[in-house]
Amino acid sequence: GLVIDGRTLEHVLHDSLQNIFLELTEKCRAVVCCQATPLQKSVLVKLVRSKLKAMTLAVGDGANDVSMIQVADTGFIFNSLVISFPSCVLQAVMASDFAISQFRHLRKLLLVHGHWCYTRLTNMVLYFFYKNVTYVNLLFWYQFFCGFSGTSMTDYWILILFNLLFTSVPPIIYGVFDKDVSAEILMELPQLYAMSQ
């Protein structure tokens, strides 16, 4: 990893040293900036996103991290006061994607819930694609049956019930109950998170 302070970061963010700094950051697994201004943090995240084309995760603990969290692809706020939402943390919570009370919960949020969310979303997209292909296929063959007259195959209320009741219940049940791998295995094998993508 790389730890850099605010004074050094100020010099590095100039145009002449950006490429050297980005080459160095590519070789690191994590970059930690300490004692940096909110503007420096956001510029650094924006630089990494634009030049390296990398996905960024910004983790902060207060209102001074709002600009960095808004620039990043995913923003986390962690603070022991996040449950009571004092005014100094509320702004950061509203800007972030996730708010957690302790930093140790980040691992479970990413590895377990992130994996489950990813698999559920991919299966739901496939389900809706299959549902729409099936319905459009029925309409296509019905037009051959009715001589391409443009008549409707079903009443509108049947179509509404089809989309509302018959095809919305399975994804909801699937989204609530499906867990392809248990939480314990996902915590023990973090490689499964990368493999699912």
Q: What is the pLDDT along the chain (197 residues), one digit of tens a residue?
A: 778 887 888 877 777 788 888 888 888 877 787 888 888 888 888 888 888 888 888 888 777 888 888 888 888 877 655 555 556 667 777 778 888 877 788 888 888 888 888 888 888 888 888 888 888 888 888 888 888 887 777 777 887 887 777 777 887 887 788 888 888 888 888 887 777 66
For the stretch 32-57, what's the b/e string if a residue is b when 16 or more beta carbons lie within 10 angstroms of its beta carbon?
ebeebeeebbbbbbebbeeeeeeebb
φ/ψ of 10, rounded to 5, equals -60, -40
Integer Cα distance of 121 and 127 in angstroms: 10
Nearest to 190 by CA among 75, 106, 94: 106
Domains present along the chain, CATH in parentheses = 2-101 (3.40.50.1000), 105-195 (no CATH)
Integer Cα distance of 54 and 184 in angstroms: 29
Whether pTM > 0.75 for this model: the answer is no
Q: What local confidence, expressed as pLDDT, does residue 109 receive?
A: 82
C-beta of residue 73 within 8 angstroms of C-beta of residue 48? no
Nearest to 182 by CA among 130, 126, 119, 131: 119
Q: What local confidence, expressed as pLDDT, does residue 10 receive?
A: 81
